[in-house]
Structures are given as C-alpha cells and as structure tokens.
C-alpha cells in the first residue's frame, strides 16, 4: 500500500481536522480561524486536483478495512466521485471566503465554521464512499452537521425550519438504512462498480430488488428534494445565505442526487435497472418535479424561496438525465451536477449580497438594484440566464446535451419538458432581471450599508463574480479536456463500457 | 498470575469499600483514586490474558461445581469487566468533584461505589446461579443506597420504590434458582446445560427459567415493569444516575441473556421469545414517547434508558430457533448495544449534570443560550446523543446494523421496523433538547462554568461511544475467542 492510495483519506481528513481545530480555537480567534479555514480549503483543492489527474490516467486510489463482521468501510476515488469531490472542494473555498464576510461581527462564528467544515467533510465522504454502507455513514453525518447551520440564527422561525428539516431527512435516512440493510442481507457487501451488480440477477429476487430500489430512491429523494419529498427545502431558506448556497449547490440536495446516480449506475447498473422497469417511472417523477417546482417558483415573492423552488426543479434534471438510460442523456444529467452547482451558488451569493448590503429580501424590493450594485447584478444576470439555458452558458450545454440524448433514445416527450421548464425558468427569472436593470429605484433601501469603494464588502463581492465567470467559461469551453462536459463523458464511457 | 487478577477484580473492591467506610469524603476520594488506578490495570490485565490465550473456567479457592464458586472467564465477560472499569472510573472521578463534600452523608458515596463495582465484576464473571444471585444483591443494595444519597424526601421515596422492585425481582430469581437446584442438583450453568443435553426437558425447569427471567426483567426495568426506574435514575446525583443506567441495569440483563442463551433452546418456546421481544419493542416506543413529554432534563435521559433497554430484549426472539450465524449476529449486536449504551448514557448523564449545574435549573427549557455560552458540555451531550440515536459512525449504529441484519436474515422483519422507529423517536426527544439550547434568548453569559475536569470526562466517554463503530470488528473478535472447556464440570 503506497502513500498515494491514502489520498482520499487525506482529502476527507483535511476538512475534518479543520473542523476540529476550529472548535478548539476560541470564539474571538478571528484571524487564526480564518487562516485555518482558508488554508485547509486550498490544501484540499490541491489534493483533489492531484486525484482528478490521477483518476483520469487510471490510477486507483483507495483504502478499506473491515468495520463490522461482513461490512467494509471503503474510501476510494473513481471518475464519478471526483466530479462531486471537485465541486465540493471548489465551492468550499469560495463559500468560506464568502461566509467570512457575511458573518462579520455576528455571534457563534466558531460553531458556524466548525459545523460548516464538518458538513464539507461529510460531502467529501459521500463523494469518496466506495459502497452503500460507507455512503450511508457520511450521508447521516451530513444531516447532523447541517442541522446547527440551519438553526444558526436561533430564532423561532429557524428552529421550526430545523425541526422540519430533521423530520424529513432523518425519516429519509431511516428508510434508506432499511433498504441498504435489506440489500445487504440479500446480496452481501456490494462495492460500487461500473455497470452494477445485478445485470443477470436471479429472477427470484427481482421483486425484492424492485422494492429495495423504490425504498432507496425514496430515502435519497428526501435530500434530492424529489416531489413529494421536497417540503423541507423552501423552509430551510431561513439559514444564513452561505449555508443556503452550500446546501443547494453541493451539500444536501446534491448528496441525494449523487446517491441516486450511485444506486442506478454502480449498484444496480443502468442495464439492470432499466430491465427491471425502474427507470421509466423515475424519469416521469423527475420530469414532473421539474415542471411542478418551476411552476411553484413563479408565485414566490421572497427571492431565496424562489431560488429554492428553482433548485428543486434543477436537481431533478440530474435524475432525469440518468433515468433516460441513454449515454448522451446521462452526460447531460451528470454535467448538470456541476453546472447547477456553480450557477446556483452564484445566485445565492447574489441574494445574500442584496440582503446584507441593501436589506432586500423580497423580489418587489429589487427595483433598480442594478445601478446600486452593478457587479452583483451582472453575476445574478449571468446565473439567471444560465439557469434559463441561454447559449453559450453552462445551463445551455446541459439542456442541449440532454435534449439530444432524449431524442437518441426516442423519448421525445422529454423535449417538451425541457422547453416547458426553460419557459418557466424564463418566466420567473426574467422579471427579476428586468427589475434589476430597467426599473427606477423606489426610494431608500430597507437597510443600506456602505463599504468604501466597492459596492459591498470585498469578501462578498468577488465570489459571485468569480462563479459567474466560471459559468461562462465552462459553457464556452465545454469541449476542452477536464471541462465538466468532458468529465461527464468520461464517467459515462466507463459506465457503459466497463 | 490469574489468581492475582481474579482476586484483584473481586476482592480488592471490597477492600477499598471497607477502607473508604472508615474515612471522610476527602480521604475517601484519595483512596478511590488509588483504587481506580489498580482496578483499571487489573481489568486490563485480565482482558489481555484472555485476548491472548482465550477464555477458561476458574474455581475460586479450589471450590468448584456443583456447589462452589465457579467463574467463567470468557471474552464477553472480560469485555464487560473492562467496560465497567472505564465507566465506573469516569463516574468515580466525576463524582469526586461533582458531589458536594460538605454534606456529611455524602462520604458514604465511596463505600457504596466500591461495593457496586465488586458486585458488577462478580456478575460478569459468575458461572453459577447462586453466586450470580449474590453479585446481583450486592449491586441492588448498593445502588439503592446510592439513590438514597440524594438526601431529600423525593430521593428516599424513589429509593424505597427501587428497593421493593429489586427485592421482588431477586425473590423471583431465587425461587427459580431453587427450582433448578431441586431438579438438577447443581447450580452451575454449564452443569445444567450438560444435563439438559442428555435428557428431555420437563415442565419444572421451564417454569424456573420463566421465573428467573421475569425477576431479572423487573430488575432491568423492562416494560411494563419499568415504573421504578425513571424516578430513581432521574433523582439520583448525576454520577450515580450514570452508574445506574450504564451498568446496573445491564448486570441483570446480562444474567437473563446468559440464561436464555444457555437454556432457551431447550426450555423456552417461540411464543415466549416473541412475547419478550414484543415487550422490548413496547419499551422502545413507550419509553421514547414518554421521554418526549418530560420537562426535566434528567427525566428525559432516564426515560431514554427505558427505551434503550427495550432493544436489549430483542435478543430473545432473534436467537431462538434461528441459524447459528444469525444468532451470532444478534448476540454481537446486543453486545455492542450494551457497550455503546453504557458509554453514551454515562456520558449523557454526566454532561446533563454539568449542564444542570451551569444553568442552575433542571428544566429542558432553561437550556436556552447554552449552545452559545457552554458549547463544550453541550457538545459532549450531543455526541452521546449520536450514539443513542444509533446514527453512524457510533457504536449504537453498529449495533443497530447487526440487529437489522439478524432480523431481516431470520425473516422477522417486524423487529427491523422497531429498530428504525426507535431511532427516529430517540431523535425526537434528543433534538428537543438541542433545539432548546440553540434558542438565542440570553444576550450575556450568566452561566456558571464548571471546572474543566468535570467537562472533559463526559467528552471522553462520548468519544468512546462514537468511535466504537470503527473498532467494532476488533471488539467483537475478542468475544469470538476459543473457550477452554476442560475446566467444565
């Protein structure tokens, strides 16, 4: 066993250690805490980049040990895990920068950053887990570490939202555990494997396999906010903006979606799940969620709540993409894991900027904010257009690839869903963009604050602009190697030709 | 070597008890520090001996079966001996700082503490029914004394109630022992098993087993015989509550489990096994539900014990007429549940004691602001909670996983539902406490900050409970060691 194989463990340990150090530092150790946090985030990014390079060249990273009789704990890196790990590492760095500015002068920052790092460590574990058991360990750890973040403000509303969040996620976790345990007693300790394990499963266990699949998707669907399990997400908006950003872009909802991808690809296998007749209903559910949540978003007057419903809709693209059971559609779904993350975090950063700088929370208060905060508003506009799917932004790539993929497997109805969803996206984003740029300022802002030369604090100003630039770049340069699109193609290639 | 270790485990605690009986509180504390050091080393020594050479029977003083003192030193027993050493030393060290030394009657804490410890060791190592009874009585009487140490009318009422329940349980057990002796002429468990292997069972021993298990279930506070537990565990001093919930109830369960595993297959029946499992499930649901309703912090933790004890009794249905591998899974799961509950519940009671000391009130809703100003104590409490909610990577989760496997593997899926529902209900009552502590009501720090040593002890226990999941394989492997049967009667 070489040192190189331990890289996944290092990647996980960096965030975990950062969290422990932050808890150990005093509340007032502002500079030390920030340097530990940023240092760890940069270090982790380097480790992840090294692993991405290695996985591309076919290196196997991974360690495992027996945790319980018959159960192994496996951490390892494959192409799919690196996609999620890379997203998590990049966004951890950006969100940490943002959160440092956002929480300036507020109490309980030690608790916040400690659990924040713990939450990122959990997403890392989810990304690198090598079997369902290990995945579940980190999946539940994620639930626990995000609860203190959701209730961070300590208000009655936050505490209520935290309660709803727990009821949903812990119940989902219990269902998931039951399904994993059942699958384990049926088929033993299954490590994730390209192509899955059940291609030629014994017909006697087909019924059980179908039931287990339904339970797995139900358990994971809570975090992925699949209809009708999405109720917790809009309520959780009460959390501070960096938390919402992270929850939506990479941590919680993505963990659910990523889990479903793992189940379909690496546990059951696309072929087997499709042969068992499981993927078609899943694609209908995902399509319905896309349209339903977009419609609900139209009626939201609170900016963050509108973004929340947009997330519910967008995450289902990932599930739709893989449920179509064609390679090209799968590329579209997987690439959205990254694209949606980058675009959605941009939008949430911007929403946080409006709230922190001008005190704006509702959409009807946003009139003319583009003049006061041009940088933030440019970023917001790019993010919004990306979500709508305007070329050449990231969102367009997703929709284009997925549409072609749907046609390739003769699922023409998906085109209608994509078009309908794009229209709905436009219907709920364009009015905001219109208000930003083309309406006159109504009067004084609700709670305006000033920071020298820039329109807002530099900690808050740069992260959304950077992610907006990335949104453009990964759209324009989608065909270059190591772009999200090429990486998604690599994953699908390995899945379909194991 | 073995002689010294056995004597060290069983008799030196008695010596510490007598010594501390003669001293005041402060000297009792010093004696206890030395005693803890000795006991930890002796326990570790015995554990290492067994881990290297496997288990054995030991006739104390050369008096073997059928009537003498027969000790069964196997992997399970030494694991529990070590667990007792860990939890009891933590509680002893915590008590030394926590308990008010200015009240004169508090000096009796030390002798009672040591009698309890020696009783526990006697039960873990006991191989014959009568000496198990002696150990059990030693435990019960010192536990009742410890509860009464609270000193006020409520504490006395709770302890009298506890005493009556414990005595009734002992009587039922003793009656069963008498019946067994009348039937088989031996008190050694192994001897009875030998006899049962070669003869067909009659009704008498079945009744004896039922009596013994019922008596022990009363002492373990199995639903619906649990009513004595919450007042006793809730009102006692926090280190005492920790000892009672973590270890004392486990002793009677341990005997019941040993009896069931030895005699169950020949003397029990499916209906009885399912009935016990059903009562355990009812305990899980009902105990958790009542825990949600409590306004006092320690009452929540005490009712949580009622619920967690319920899981233990799933051993009965999950080991009755199932394949060996499933039975083994169930036994391993229950063992992990005993260990993780002991560590986590001790941590939780000690942390709850610290929190009560800090906020000056024992109510749950008084915890507002604790998360901001007393994060460390809350963190210990929270980490212990992770194990009680059986979430990964805690020992509680490892236990739940094995029990899930056993129930699914044996086709008794209804116990799996109980396990999952129990986990969710425990989250309901624990997050109620976290929720209260996250409320941002007080603006300034008006809390008393307990000394560091008080805060560190529950944290260490909670981390052990949490980390147990990662080393479960190693812990369980000690129990699977070969057992030298040549000493058997």
pLDDT digits (tens, 9 = 90+) for A84-116: 888 888 888 888 888 888 888 788 888 888 888
Contact A181 B408 (CB under 8 A): yes
| CA-based nearest residue to B249, from B274, B205, B216, B297 | B216
Mean pLDDT of A476-484: 82
Q: For residue A62, what are the β-bridge partners?
A: A76
B390 within some domain: yes
* B416 and chain A in contact, CB less than 8 A: yes
pLDDT digits (tens, 9 = 90+) for B348-388: 999 999 998 888 888 888 888 787 888 888 888 999 999 99
* B469 and chain A in contact, CB less than 8 A: yes
Does residue B346 surpass a pLDDT of 90?
yes
**Rg from Cα positions in chain B:** 21
Task: pLDDT band for A231, please (50, 70, 90 cuts).
Answer: confident
Task: pLDDT band for B489, please (50, 70, 90 cuts).
Answer: very low
Does residue B340 surpass a pLDDT of 60?
yes
Mutate which: B331, B401, B441, B455, vs A, most A CBs within 10 A: B401
Tokens of A402: 């997925």
Q: For residue B363, what are the β-bridge partners?
A: B296
Q: For residue B73, what are the β-bridge partners?
A: B56
Length of chain B: 489
The 10 Å Cβ neighbour count of residue B5 is 23
* A151 and chain B in contact, CB less than 8 A: yes
Does residue A1 surpass a pLDDT of 60?
no
Tell me how far apart the alpha carbons of residues B383 and B462 are, in angstroms, rounded to a whole number: 6
Does residue B420 surpass a pLDDT of 70?
yes
Mean pLDDT of B453-480: 87
The burial of A405, by beta-carbon neighbours within 10 Å (0-12 exposed, 13-18 middle, 19 or more buried), is given as buried
Q: What does the DSSP 8-state code read for residue A265? A: I
Peptide bond into B393 cis (omega under 30): yes
Residues in chain B with CB shorter than 8 Å from the CB of A68 are 398, 401-402, 469, 472-473, 476
Q: For residue A74, what are the β-bridge partners?
A: A64
Q: What's the structural domain count of chain B?
A: 1
pTM of the model: 0.92
Q: What does the DSSP 8-state code read for residue B361? A: -
CB A249 within 8 Å of CB A340: yes
pLDDT for res B401:
92
CB B87 within 8 Å of CB B244: no
Residues in chain B with CB shorter than 8 Å from the CB of A148 are 371, 438
Nearest-CA distance A61 → chain B (Å): 21
| CA-based nearest residue to A153, from A114, A120, A102, A108 | A108
CB B160 within 8 Å of CB B233: no
The burial of B23, by beta-carbon neighbours within 10 Å (0-12 exposed, 13-18 middle, 19 or more buried), is given as middle
Query: Which B residues 375-404 touch A at CB under 8 Å?
Result: 375, 379, 386, 391-393, 397-398, 400-402, 404
Q: What does the DSSP 8-state code read for residue A365? A: G
pLDDT for res B291:
92
Residues in chain A with CB shorter than 8 Å from the CB of B405 are 70, 181, 184-185
pLDDT digits (tens, 9 = 90+) for B283-302: 999 999 999 999 888 999 99
B190 within some domain: no
CB B387 within 8 Å of CB B395: yes
The burial of A444, by beta-carbon neighbours within 10 Å (0-12 exposed, 13-18 middle, 19 or more buried), is given as exposed
Tell me how far apart the alpha carbons of residues B161 and A318 are, in angstroms, rounded to a whole number: 61
Nearest-CA distance A174 → chain B (Å): 6
**Partner residue facing B469 (CB), from A67, A177, A181:** A67
Q: Measure Cα distances from B364 to B30, B301, B355, B404, B434 in Å.
A: 35, 11, 10, 33, 9
The pLDDT mean for chain B works out to 87
Q: What does the DSSP 8-state code read for residue A131? A: B
pLDDT for res B486:
44
* B214 and chain A in contact, CB less than 8 A: no
CB B400 within 8 Å of CB B406: no
Strand duo B56-59 + B70-73: pairing: antiparallel
Kindly provide the ipTM of the predicted complex, given to two decimals: 0.89
* B420 and chain A in contact, CB less than 8 A: yes
Residues in chain A with CB shorter than 8 Å from the CB of B391 are 140-141, 143-144, 173
B311 within some domain: yes
Query: Which B residues 53-92 touch A at CB under 8 Å?
Result: none
pLDDT for res B62:
63
Q: Measure Cα distances from B254 to A491, B30, B123, B217, B312 in Å.
A: 52, 32, 8, 10, 10
**Partner residue facing A68 (CB), from B401, B427, B434:** B401
* A26 and chain B in contact, CB less than 8 A: no
Tokens of A374: 């041009």
pLDDT for res A373:
86
Task: pLDDT band for B61, please (50, 70, 90 cuts).
Answer: low
Tell me how far apart the alpha carbons of residues A16 and A120 are, in angstroms, rounded to a whole number: 8
Mean pLDDT of B256-267: 87
Tell me how far apart the alpha carbons of residues A157 and A155 are, in angstroms, rounded to a whole number: 5
Mean pLDDT of B249-274: 88
Identify the H or E element spanning B59: strand B56-59
Does residue B151 surpass a pLDDT of 80?
no
Does residue A191 surpass a pLDDT of 60?
yes
Residues in chain A with CB shorter than 8 Å from the CB of B421 are 174
Residues in chain A with CB shorter than 8 Å from the CB of B392 are 136-137, 140-141
Q: Measure Cα distances from A47 to A43, A83, A90, B34 in Å.
A: 6, 14, 12, 49
pLDDT digits (tens, 9 = 90+) for A350-388: 988 888 888 888 888 888 888 888 888 999 999 999 988
* A188 and chain B in contact, CB less than 8 A: no
Q: Alpha-carbon dihedral of residues B444, B450, B452, B453, nearest 10 degrees?
A: -160
Mean pLDDT of A64-86: 86
Contact A181 B405 (CB under 8 A): yes
CB A84 within 8 Å of CB A123: yes
Query: Which A residues 192-251 touch B at CB under 8 Å?
Result: none
pLDDT for res A6:
84
Task: pLDDT band for A260, please (50, 70, 90 cuts).
Answer: very high
- Which range among B92-96, B148-152, B226-230 shows the weakest confidence by mean pLDDT? B148-152
Taken in order A222, A319, A250, A306, is the CA torsion positive or negative?
negative
- Which range among A396-400, A403-407, A445-449, A486-490 shows the weakest confidence by mean pLDDT? A445-449
Does residue B66 surpass a pLDDT of 80?
no
The percentage of residues in chain A with a pLDDT greater than 70, rounded to a whole number, is 99
CB A346 within 8 Å of CB A464: yes
pLDDT for res B488:
41
pLDDT for res B63:
63
Task: pLDDT band for B439, please (50, 70, 90 cuts).
Answer: confident
- Alpha helix (H) residue ranges in A188-229: 206-224
- Which range among A309-313, A337-341, B190-194 shows the weakest confidence by mean pLDDT? B190-194
Mean pLDDT of B100-114: 86
* B442 and chain A in contact, CB less than 8 A: no
Pairs of residues, one from chain A and one from chain B, whose beta carbons lie less than 8 Å apart: 93
Tokens of B478: 């000690």
Does residue B199 surpass a pLDDT of 90?
no
Mean pLDDT of A407-411: 86
Tell me how far apart the alpha carbons of residues A261 and A253 are, in angstroms, rounded to a whole number: 13
Tell me how far apart the alpha carbons of residues B35 and B76 are, in angstroms, rounded to a whole number: 24
Where are the extended beta strands (E) located within A41-118? 61-68, 71-77
Does residue B187 surpass a pLDDT of 60?
yes
Does residue B141 surpass a pLDDT of 80?
yes
User: Which residues are CB-contacts of A394 (< 8 A; sequence separation ≥ 6)?
Assistant: A338, A339, A342, A343, A386, A471, A472, A474, A475, A478, A484
The 10 Å Cβ neighbour count of residue A393 is 25
Mean pLDDT of B47-65: 75
pLDDT for res A34:
86
* A20 and chain B in contact, CB less than 8 A: no
**Partner residue facing A111 (CB), from B371, B397, B420:** B371
pLDDT for res B84:
94
The 10 Å Cβ neighbour count of residue A4 is 12
pLDDT digits (tens, 9 = 90+) for B6-54: 878 888 888 889 888 888 888 888 888 999 999 999 999 988 888 887 7
Place of tokens 């270790």: B5
* Extents of the domains making up chain A: 278-498
Range of the domain at B403: 293-478
pLDDT for res B4:
78
The 10 Å Cβ neighbour count of residue A1 is 7
| CA-based nearest residue to A336, from A146, A473, A433, A475 | A475
Comparing alpha-carbon positions, the chain B residue that sits nearest to A137 is B392
B272 within some domain: no
CB B87 within 8 Å of CB B243: yes
| CA-based nearest residue to B238, from B315, B164, B302 | B302
B436 within some domain: yes
The pLDDT mean for chain A works out to 87
Nearest-CA distance A417 → chain B (Å): 37
pLDDT for res B455:
87
User: Which residues are CB-contacts of A431 (< 8 A; sequence separation ≥ 6)?
Assistant: A363
pLDDT for res B478:
80
Does residue B485 surpass a pLDDT of 70?
no
How many helices, marked H, and strands, marked E, lie in chain A?
20, 2
**Partner residue facing A178 (CB), from B329, B416, B440:** B416
CB B17 within 8 Å of CB B115: yes
Contact B405 A185 (CB under 8 A): yes
Contact A110 B420 (CB under 8 A): no
- Is residue A345 classed as helix, strand or coil in its secondary structure? helix
Tokens of A1: 């066993």
Helix, strand, coil shares of chain A, percent, nearest 5, are 75, 5, 20
């Amino acid at each position: 066993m070489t040192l190189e194989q331990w890289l996944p463990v290092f990647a996980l340990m960096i965030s975990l250690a950062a969290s422990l150090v932050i808890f150990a530092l005093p509340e007032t150790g502002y500079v030390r805490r920030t340097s530990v946090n940023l240092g760890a985030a940069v270090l982790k990014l380097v480790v992840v980049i090294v692993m991405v390079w290695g996985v591309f060249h076919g290196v196997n990273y991974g360690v495992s040990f027996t945790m319980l009789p018959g159960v192994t704990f496996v951490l390892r890196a494959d192409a799919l895990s690196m996609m999620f790990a890379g997203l998590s590492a990049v966004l951890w760095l950006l969100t940490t920068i943002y959160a440092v500015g956002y929480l300036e002068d507020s109490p309980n920052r030690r608790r916040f950053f400690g659990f924040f790092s713990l939450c990122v460590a959990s997403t890392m574990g989810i990304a690198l887990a090598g079997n369902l058991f290990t995945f579940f360990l980190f999946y539940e750890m994620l639930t626990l570490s995000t609860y203190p973040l959701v209730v961070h403000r300590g208000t009655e509303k936050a505490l209520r939202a935290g309660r709803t969040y727990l009821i949903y996620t812990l119940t989902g976790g219990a269902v998931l555990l039951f399904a994993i345990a059942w699958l384990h007693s049926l088929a033993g300790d299954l490590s994730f494997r390209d192509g899955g394990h059940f291609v030629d499963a014994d017909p006697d266990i087909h019924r059980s396999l179908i039931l287990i699949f339904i339970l797995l998707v139900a358990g994971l669907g809570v975090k992925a906010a699949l209809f009708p399990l999405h109720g917790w997400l809009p309520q959780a908006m009460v959390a501070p903006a960096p938390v919402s950003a992270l929850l939506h872009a990479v941590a919680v909802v993505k963990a659910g979606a990523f889990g479903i991808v793992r189940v379909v690809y690496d546990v059951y296998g696309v072929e087997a799940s499709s042969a068992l007749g499981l993927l078609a209903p899943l694609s209908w559910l995902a399509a319905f969620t896309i349209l339903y949540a977009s419609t609900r978003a139209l009626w939201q007057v609170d900016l963050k709540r509108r973004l929340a419903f947009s997330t519910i809709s967008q995450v289902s693209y990932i599930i739709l993409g893989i449920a179509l059971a064609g390679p090209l559609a799968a590329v579209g779904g997987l690439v959205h894991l990254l694209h949606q993350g980058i675009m959605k975090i941009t939008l949430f950063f911007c929403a946080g900027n409006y709230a922190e700088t001008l005190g704006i929370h509702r959409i009807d208060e946003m009139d003319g904010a583009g003049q006061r905060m041009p940088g933030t508003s440019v970023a917001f506009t790019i993010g919004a257009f990306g979500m709508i799917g305007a070329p050449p932004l990231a969102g367009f790539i997703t929709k284009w690839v997925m549409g072609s993929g749907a046609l390739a497997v003769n699922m023409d109805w998906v085109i209608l869903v994509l078009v309908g969803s794009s229209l709905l996206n436009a219907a709920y984003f364009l009015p905001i963009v219109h208000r930003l740029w083309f309406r006159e300022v109504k009067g004084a802002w609700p709670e305006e604050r000033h920071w020298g030369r820039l329109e807002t604090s530099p900690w808050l100003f740069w992260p959304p602009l950077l992610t907006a630039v990335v949104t453009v770049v990964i759209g324009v340069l989608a065909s270059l190697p190591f772009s999200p699109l090429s990486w998604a193609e690599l994953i699908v290639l390995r899945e379909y030709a194991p | 070597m073995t002689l010294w270790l056995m004597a060290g485990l069983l008799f030196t605690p008695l010596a510490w008890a007598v010594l501390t009986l003669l001293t005041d509180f402060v000297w009792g504390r010093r004696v206890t520090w030395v005693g803890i050091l000795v006991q930890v080393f002796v326990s570790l020594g015995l554990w290492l001996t067994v881990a290297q050479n496997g288990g054995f029977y030991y006739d104390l003083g050369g008096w073997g079966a059928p009537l003498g003192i027969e000790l069964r030193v196997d992997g399970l027993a030494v694991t529990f001996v070590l667990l007792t050493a860990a939890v009891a030393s933590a509680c002893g060290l915590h008590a030394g700082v926590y308990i008010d030394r200015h009240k004169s009657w508090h000096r009796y804490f030390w002798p009672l503490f040591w009698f309890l410890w020696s009783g526990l060791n006697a039960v873990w190592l006991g191989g014959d029914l009568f000496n198990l009874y002696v150990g059990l009585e030693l435990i019960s009487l010192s536990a009742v004394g410890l509860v009464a140490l609270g000193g006020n009318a409520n504490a006395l009422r709770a302890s009298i109630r506890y005493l009556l329940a414990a005595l009734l349980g002992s009587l039922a057990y003793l009656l069963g022992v008498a019946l067994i002796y009348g039937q088989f002429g031996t008190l050694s468990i192994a001897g009875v098993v030998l006899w049962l292997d070669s003869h067909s069972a009659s009704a008498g021993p079945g009744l004896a087993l039922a009596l013994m298990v019922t008596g022990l279930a009363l002492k373990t506070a199995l639903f619906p015989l649990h009513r004595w537990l919450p007042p006793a565990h809730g009102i006692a001093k926090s280190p005492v509550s920790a000892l009672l919930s973590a270890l004392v109830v486990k002793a009677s369960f341990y005997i019941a489990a040993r009896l069931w595993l030895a005699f169950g297959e020949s003397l029990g029946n499916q209906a009885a096994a399912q009935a016990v499992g059903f009562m355990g499930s009812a305990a899980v649901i009902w105990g958790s539900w009542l825990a949600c309703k409590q306004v006092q912090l320690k009452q929540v933790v005490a009712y949580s014990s009622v619920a967690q004890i319920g899981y233990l009794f799933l051993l009965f249905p999950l080991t009755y007429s199932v394949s060996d591998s499933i039975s083994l899974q169930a036994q391993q799961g229950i063992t992990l549940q005993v260990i993780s509950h002991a560590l986590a519940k001790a941590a939780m009671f000690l942390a709850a004691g610290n929190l009560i000391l800090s906020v000056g009130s024992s109510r749950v809703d008084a915890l507002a602001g604790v998360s901001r100003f007393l994060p460390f104590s809350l963190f210990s409490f929270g980490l212990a909670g992770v194990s009680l909610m059986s979430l990964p990577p805690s020992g509680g989760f490892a236990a739940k996983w094995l029990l899930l496997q056993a129930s699914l593997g044996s086709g008794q899926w209804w116990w799996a539902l109980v396990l999952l529902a129990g986990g969710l209900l425990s989250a309901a009552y624990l997050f109620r406490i976290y929720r209260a502590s996250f409320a941002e009501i007080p603006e300034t720090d008006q809390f008393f900050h307990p000394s560091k040593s008080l805060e560190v002890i529950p944290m260490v226990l909670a981390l052990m409970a949490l980390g147990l999941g990662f080393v479960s394989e190693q812990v369980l492997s000690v129990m699977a060691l070969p057992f030298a049967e040549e000493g058997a009667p």
